[in-house]
Amino acid sequence: MFQEEKSFNFRFSLEAVFPEDYDGDRDEYAWVQDWEKRIKPELLKVMFECIRRYSSWTAHVRNRGMSPDDEIEIVMAKDFSHDD
């Protein structure tokens, strides 16, 4: 079987800005926890809802050894190996 691949990245860089008198980890990275618990799961849900609209494509999450805190890879596949 022959397989071709192409990569495309959505990259999110998270930043938080604090006042000059901020004393380090006072908020215990609450802004990151907000991303992890609310925003990232919702983005993944919306992406998979969109992908499902295209029935000739399948999608699944692939882990290449990176922590899901740092990277989530979604593999989109189109199978031409079967005659319809």
Which pLDDT tens digits describe the chain residue by residue (84 residues)? 899 999 999 999 999 998 888 877 777 888 999 999 999 999 999 999 999 999 999 999 998 888 999 999 999 999 988 765
- Please give the pLDDT value at position 55: 92
How far, in Å, are 1, 6, 50, 65, 68 from residue 34 at the CA level?
Answer: 44, 32, 23, 24, 15
* Euclidean distance between CA atoms 54 and 52, whole angstroms: 5
Distance of CA 66 to the CA centre of its chain: 12
- Please give the pLDDT value at position 82: 77
